[in-house]
Structure 1
Amino acid sequence: MHAALSGWLVGMLAVGPAAAQSSLPLRLTPRAVPSAAPSSVTVVAIPLDATARTEAARLAYWAEQSVARSGRLELVRLSEALDAQGRAEREAKAAEGAQAMKDGQAAYDELDTQKALERFDVAAKAFEAGDLSRGFGDFVRARVMKAASQVANGENAAAQLEIRAVLAVDPRAQFSSNFFPPDEMAFVDKERKAALAGSTVALTVRTEPVPAQVYVDGQFRGVSPVSLSGLTAADHFVTVMAPGYELEQRRAREGETALTLTPSASQRALQAITERIVRKPDGAERDVALRELGALAGVSQVLALLVQGGTGTAPVQVTGLRLDVTDGHNLGYAVGSVPVGEAMATGSDTFLSSLVGADTARLAGNKPVTHFSSGGGSNRKTMGYVLMATGVALLAGGIYFGMEASSKEDDFRRAPQTSPRAKDFKDTGKTYALVADIGLVTGLVSAGLGSYFAFAGGGGGSSSSSPSKASATPSRSRATPPPSKAAPAKSESLDMPPPPKGTKQVSEPLPMPPPPSKTTTPAPAKTTPAPQATEPAPAPPPARDTKRSRDEDAAQREEELKKRREEVERQRRELEERRKQEEADAEAKRKRDEEEKRKRDEEEKKKRPSIDEDDLRNY
């Protein structure tokens, strides 16, 4: 045993030097870890009422600019993420234009100006067919180099026409003296001054069926409808885009131009998600729907802006949160007001910077931070369990006192009716009976309410947990006010039109409304923490007509019941069709098995040797 242990110890000690001399993939030094790629983020602005449609689309643009300026997040436009095919085609055109520019520059350097002219012309057409909201500068540079190639080929008239067309669209286009001789540079200066001092025209851009971000000559000019003035008298390039729709692009000179947006393949899914968020903008369903949107867009984070208001010059009230798609952790959260119109460009910078800044730290145990309305699902469940326990105790007490009352009744009947003890038995029994009745009724009511709160009333999910104090993000944990019940069930979120009749909408089945309780109990008071001094509190919701609210609630409940019944009927039909299909498949399989067995029997019968009569007789 000693020899064996000594040999094992020596062998173990020899493993270290042997492994160090071998070429096995054993690493004792730390491996260089590549830096992590920035997280991809998409921005969605959801109007909670019809008046906020235009301002929500405008705020989405400035939020995208804030994400791009942060340097730590990779921006993915929601309109591009939900239109994968169109995005791939535009990226292919941009790559084609970039390669053509490279080939044209190489040919120009080799003095093959004819080939350079052809390649620069191809590049200009490719960039024009792509996304000019991003590639307008490349498009202008391709046309400038096309004019330079024409000058090098001696085509001065064609070059001057190209220069004049470029300056009419972009008077600040750059022309280098390395490619243009002094005469042509003088012509460029003259045409530039003429374009800047010439007559101007007005252009109005409208879109249907929803408002869209409008870019003219590669510059963001607002949300449709947009009226522009002071444009040069030339063909300008108009690009419009909206989430859930394909990008539209055309040339326009002056007057009014209307563009009709085509829904993308993901438009219905986006509409269903936004409708769920509008129904419960301060509940757990909001974060669940945003995580589904992030998975649909293929990003790791979603920056959501819930916008309300926007009438006249009053600022809009915004609830913003940046959410981790993996587990719903709120990396950033803020509630505040943002000015409308042109002032939004600078007035929203502080609010948006707080959302895209440092990430909020998670809670102990790597638990995510969430921001739901106070009095959330877990509080209701806790109250429900307490009421259930109280109800059970009252029921037990009621049963006990009921038995005591019955016992006193028996004592009263056995005792002489004129004795003082009989009167005492009678009074005590009545008291016990009254206590038993109160305990039973109260226990039943308490147990019923507790069951409702614990099992049927917890649709809001878990309540929010406040962000960590060590977080560098200036988040506000104040819960947003609950939405008015008078709000329409089908919102105009992201301005999506209703699906055409006869088509199936992809959405989760609506939950059945809870049964009305026979007894009314005062709802627990919801306390809302006061907002910080650095941020104005949102205006309180206007008072609403009680009768009208009840009517609208009843109509909404009937609509939800109708949708639920339709969904149940559709599922029943699908189950019936699936059962019939399975029976048909089983019958077809049985027939195939019988046919195969019959064929095998016939083949075995043919393979068997024939027996003549002599063989049979001998046998």
Structure 2
Amino acid sequence: MRPSKVRAAHAALSGWLVGLLAVGPAAAQTPVSTRLVPRALSAATAEAPADAPAVTVVAIALDAAARADAVRLVREAEQAVANSGRLKLVRLADALDVEGQRERQARESEAAEAAKAGQRAYDELDTEKALVHFDKALRAYEGADLSQRFTELSRARVMKAASQVANGENTAAQLEIRTALALNPEARFSPNFFPPEEMTFVEKERKAVLSGNKSTLRVSTEPVPAQVYVDGQFRGISPVEVADLTAADHYVTVVAPGYALNQRRERAGEASLTLAPVAALPGLQTLTDQVARKPDGSERDKALRELGSLADVPQVLALLVRGGAGAGPLEVTGLRLDVLDGHNQAYAIGTVPRGDALADGSQALLTQLVSTDTPRQAGKPVTHFSGGVSSSRRTAGYVLMATGVALLAGGVYFGMEASSKSDEFKRTAQNSRRAQDLKSTGKTYAVVADVGVLLGLASAGVGSYFAFAGGGGGGSSKSSARASRPAPAPAPTPPATETKAREPLPMPPPPEQTAPAARQPAPAAPQPAPAAPQPAPASSKKDKEAAKRAQEEEARQREEELRKRREEVERQRKESEERRKQEEAAAKREQEERRREEERRRQEEKKRPSLDEDDLRNY
């Protein structure tokens, strides 16, 4: 029995080893998507559900001291939205640049299709066709938004090098590998696509890149600060100095709301990029100015709703930033607003440190704004504005009310004194000196009483208006509803017929009684002529005509203003389009020059003998 068990164990072990040998080649043929995983350059973000509401972020500086920090705070808020797992981020710069975003998305789709076709051709061992597709994908990704698609560009470059290796173009492949590692030292090269000598070359180049000399690139933008990305990584707000860069041409991308995305390759030194305004910039500036003028009133939420409509998103996350004097912390009011009805999904007030501590110091406030939604009250939106009455105005109203009450009390007191003096005057001899004194004093008290009562009533009335006019404070759904709706148009003057209809109608005459004998029909009485409509009073006609003229004048002014605004937007759009065309022409010329240079290098390399050509042919 024992020898048979040993033979069975030996047979099982032999079968296991044979299975491993058979599985090895099959595993090498698995699709590249499971084997090639370049690093993700952006921070990991939680995947939001497909039906998650889209949110755009805007930061508005309420004073000059907060402008730079407000731009930095936008980036942190965008990261908080992207990491929330329940909201979908739409960058305001992309939402306002519709044409540019459409072009970049078209290039992304083109690149993705080319990369997919290249991978399919590579798996089918048609490596020459794969090289063409991966090169096309690489060029298309260079025209996309590399602040979000640099990972895909790096993957396309790696697969282009793999296709060149498979075609025997080792020198060109090594040039592509050097470029890939210079831009992304952590790029992964799978041994399933690269032979051992090429993997040795990859590791040698990686070490040289990591230990080589580093350079610095200083990026500035005009006319506004912008988010700066270098090779897909966020590096700060311009002007910014980017250190620890390799000696290569790096992809620099700058993004700012209201301006077209600008992107080009730069080496160490100075890089100044100009941002071209888009057609939506005037509207953005108008709405942000409205918010900055009245950051606590209903105009704030109304302007933010219009901004959401301009960006075509259902929610807006707004950060109102006040810097103040000195190096103290920023005062930040944040709200996430539903564009449809103005409901504040989230609201928070807090302080955020400046400088390097801003990123960590703002997380608590931003998490509060994106983590949960505030329910509506009885189906009505919740708001957090003061209804148009500022705290200083309300305080002044209360002071005036108190002053009015004091003056009324003083008026009543002096009125009683004047009445007392009058009674005493009547009981005193009229020709005496005391009577004259009582008369003079009584008149004085009477004047003081009248003035006190009048001033008290006026002061109390003005104070009541300052303190209570404009509705209640924050959280009032009724006040928010009134503020979010446009003011109703003035009611037209009722016509004369309506005025007449409201007058009491005359009673009909009693029926005429006839004797029983008089049964013969009486001759038909002539029908009374219908009463002519009474002409409307002259004052009503004048009011109606005046209202009509006022409406026509208002409509004309509105049309003129809209016409001027459309002309301004059209002019800016044409200027932006012209600048974009010039930049595209310059970029095409630059790409053509690089292509010619690369073609020249290829021709020179082909003339030289290939490295280890006999060994590679045998391999």
Normalised to the residue count of structure 2, the TM-score between the two structures is: 0.61
Whether the 8 Å contact between 1:408 and 1:429 is mirrored in structure 2 is no
CA separation of 1:367/1:428 partners in 2, compared to 1, >3 Å: closer, same or farther? farther
CA separation of 1:439/1:70 partners in 2, compared to 1, >3 Å: closer, same or farther? farther
Give the aligned partner of residue 193 of structure 1.
207
Whether the 8 Å contact between 2:61 and 2:67 is mirrored in structure 1 is yes
**CA distance in structure 1 between the partners assigned to 2:270 and 2:324 by the alignment:** 26
Whether the 8 Å contact between 1:378 and 1:461 is mirrored in structure 2 is no
| Residue 170 of structure 1, CA deviation | 0.8
CA separation of 1:56/1:382 partners in 2, compared to 1, >3 Å: closer, same or farther? closer
Give the aligned partner of residue 307 of structure 1.
321
Give the aligned partner of residue 543 of structure 1.
none
Whether the 8 Å contact between 1:43 and 1:302 is mirrored in structure 2 is yes
Give the aligned partner of residue 110 of structure 2.
96
| Residue 393 of structure 1, CA deviation | 9.4
1:61 aligns with 2:75: yes
| Residue 185 of structure 1, CA deviation | 1.4
Give the aligned partner of residue 206 of structure 1.
220
Deviating above 3 A after TM superposition, structure 1's stretches of 4 or more consecutive aligned residues are 310-315, 361-367, 371-394, 415-420, 426-431, 433-462, 571-578
Give the aligned partner of residue 263 of structure 1.
277
Give the aligned partner of residue 365 of structure 2.
351
Give the aligned partner of residue 495 of structure 2.
none
Counterpart amino acid of 1:291?
R
**CA distance in structure 2 between the partners assigned to 1:575 and 1:388 by the alignment:** 44
1:246 aligns with 2:260: yes
Counterpart amino acid of 2:238?
S
**CA distance in structure 1 between the partners assigned to 2:386 and 2:448 by the alignment:** 38
| Residue 307 of structure 1, CA deviation | 2.0
Give the aligned partner of residue 45 of structure 1.
59
**CA distance in structure 1 between the partners assigned to 2:284 and 2:366 by the alignment:** 23
1:369-380 equivalent positions in 2, closer than 5 A: 369-372=383-386
Whether the 8 Å contact between 2:230 and 2:251 is mirrored in structure 1 is yes
1:59-458 equivalent positions in 2, closer than 5 A: 59-309=73-323, 314-363=328-377, 366-372=380-386, 417=430, 431=442, 437-438=447-448, 440-449=450-459, 452=462
**CA distance in structure 2 between the partners assigned to 1:245 and 1:458 by the alignment:** 42
- Report the 3-state secondary structure (helix = DSSP H, G, I; strand = E; otherwise coil) of the residue aligned with 2:151: helix
Which protein has the larger Cα radius of gyration, Structure 1 or Structure 2?
2
CA separation of 1:381/1:365 partners in 2, compared to 1, >3 Å: closer, same or farther? farther
CA separation of 1:365/1:232 partners in 2, compared to 1, >3 Å: closer, same or farther? closer
| Residue 452 of structure 1, CA deviation | 4.7
- Report the 3-state secondary structure (helix = DSSP H, G, I; strand = E; otherwise coil) of the residue aligned with 1:178: coil
Counterpart amino acid of 1:180?
F
- Report the 3-state secondary structure (helix = DSSP H, G, I; strand = E; otherwise coil) of the residue aligned with 1:233: coil
| Residue 438 of structure 1, CA deviation | 4.4
Counterpart amino acid of 1:46?
I
Deviates more, 1:306-315 or 1:177-186: 306-315
| Residue 80 of structure 1, CA deviation | 1.2
| Residue 353 of structure 1, CA deviation | 0.8
**CA distance in structure 1 between the partners assigned to 2:356 and 2:268 by the alignment:** 23
| Residue 218 of structure 1, CA deviation | 0.3
Whether the 8 Å contact between 1:283 and 1:460 is mirrored in structure 2 is no
- Report the 3-state secondary structure (helix = DSSP H, G, I; strand = E; otherwise coil) of the residue aligned with 1:360: coil
CA separation of 1:160/1:282 partners in 2, compared to 1, >3 Å: closer, same or farther? same
**CA distance in structure 2 between the partners assigned to 1:391 and 1:310 by the alignment:** 38
Deviates more, 1:307-316 or 1:453-462: 453-462
Deviates more, 1:321-330 or 1:54-63: 321-330
Whether the 8 Å contact between 1:384 and 1:452 is mirrored in structure 2 is no
Structure 2: runs of 5 or more not aligned: 1-48, 478-485, 487-549, 561-619
| Residue 271 of structure 1, CA deviation | 1.4
CA separation of 1:386/1:324 partners in 2, compared to 1, >3 Å: closer, same or farther? farther
1:439-588 equivalent positions in 2, closer than 5 A: 440-449=450-459, 452=462, 462-465=472-475, 574-575=556-557
Whether the 8 Å contact between 1:38 and 1:72 is mirrored in structure 2 is yes
Whether the 8 Å contact between 1:284 and 1:460 is mirrored in structure 2 is no
| Residue 311 of structure 1, CA deviation | 7.4
| Residue 383 of structure 1, CA deviation | 6.5
Whether the 8 Å contact between 1:283 and 1:372 is mirrored in structure 2 is yes
CA separation of 1:119/1:438 partners in 2, compared to 1, >3 Å: closer, same or farther? farther
CA separation of 1:152/1:306 partners in 2, compared to 1, >3 Å: closer, same or farther? same
Whether the 8 Å contact between 1:380 and 1:453 is mirrored in structure 2 is no
**CA distance in structure 1 between the partners assigned to 2:233 and 2:383 by the alignment:** 38
Structure 1: runs of 5 or more not aligned: 1-34, 468-507, 509-567, 579-619
**CA distance in structure 1 between the partners assigned to 2:364 and 2:167 by the alignment:** 54
**CA distance in structure 1 between the partners assigned to 2:396 and 2:305 by the alignment:** 24
CA separation of 1:123/1:336 partners in 2, compared to 1, >3 Å: closer, same or farther? same
Whether the 8 Å contact between 1:376 and 1:461 is mirrored in structure 2 is no
CA separation of 1:419/1:38 partners in 2, compared to 1, >3 Å: closer, same or farther? same
What is the number of equivalent residue pairs in this alignment? 438
Whether the 8 Å contact between 2:63 and 2:324 is mirrored in structure 1 is no
| Residue 254 of structure 1, CA deviation | 0.6
Deviates more, 1:234-243 or 1:102-111: 102-111
CA separation of 1:286/1:438 partners in 2, compared to 1, >3 Å: closer, same or farther? farther
Q: Deviations over 1:494-539 (max 9, x none)?
A: xxxxxxxxxxxxxx9xxxxxxxxxxxxxxxxxxxxxxxxxxxxxxx
- Report the 3-state secondary structure (helix = DSSP H, G, I; strand = E; otherwise coil) of the residue aligned with 1:323: strand
Counterpart amino acid of 1:84?
V
**CA distance in structure 2 between the partners assigned to 1:133 and 1:312 by the alignment:** 34
**CA distance in structure 2 between the partners assigned to 1:103 and 1:109 by the alignment:** 10
| Residue 179 of structure 1, CA deviation | 1.7
Counterpart amino acid of 1:265?
A
**CA distance in structure 1 between the partners assigned to 2:117 and 2:292 by the alignment:** 51
Counterpart amino acid of 2:250?
H
Whether the 8 Å contact between 2:296 and 2:386 is mirrored in structure 1 is yes
**CA distance in structure 2 between the partners assigned to 1:148 and 1:119 by the alignment:** 12
- Report the 3-state secondary structure (helix = DSSP H, G, I; strand = E; otherwise coil) of the residue aligned with 1:222: strand
| Residue 195 of structure 1, CA deviation | 1.0
| Residue 288 of structure 1, CA deviation | 2.5
CA separation of 1:166/1:576 partners in 2, compared to 1, >3 Å: closer, same or farther? closer
Q: Deviations over 1:1-29 (max 9, x none)?
A: xxxxxxxxxxxxxxxxxxxxxxxxxxxxx
Whether the 8 Å contact between 1:100 and 1:120 is mirrored in structure 2 is yes
**CA distance in structure 1 between the partners assigned to 2:234 and 2:469 by the alignment:** 42
CA separation of 1:87/1:444 partners in 2, compared to 1, >3 Å: closer, same or farther? farther
| Residue 312 of structure 1, CA deviation | 7.7
**CA distance in structure 1 between the partners assigned to 2:57 and 2:241 by the alignment:** 26
Whether the 8 Å contact between 1:391 and 1:447 is mirrored in structure 2 is no
Report the identity percentage. Answer: 52
Q: Deviations over 1:56-101 (max 9, x none)?
A: 1111101110111111111111111111111111111111111111
**CA distance in structure 1 between the partners assigned to 2:126 and 2:234 by the alignment:** 38
Counterpart amino acid of 1:356?
V
**CA distance in structure 2 between the partners assigned to 1:353 and 1:279 by the alignment:** 27
| Residue 133 of structure 1, CA deviation | 0.3
CA separation of 1:289/1:211 partners in 2, compared to 1, >3 Å: closer, same or farther? same
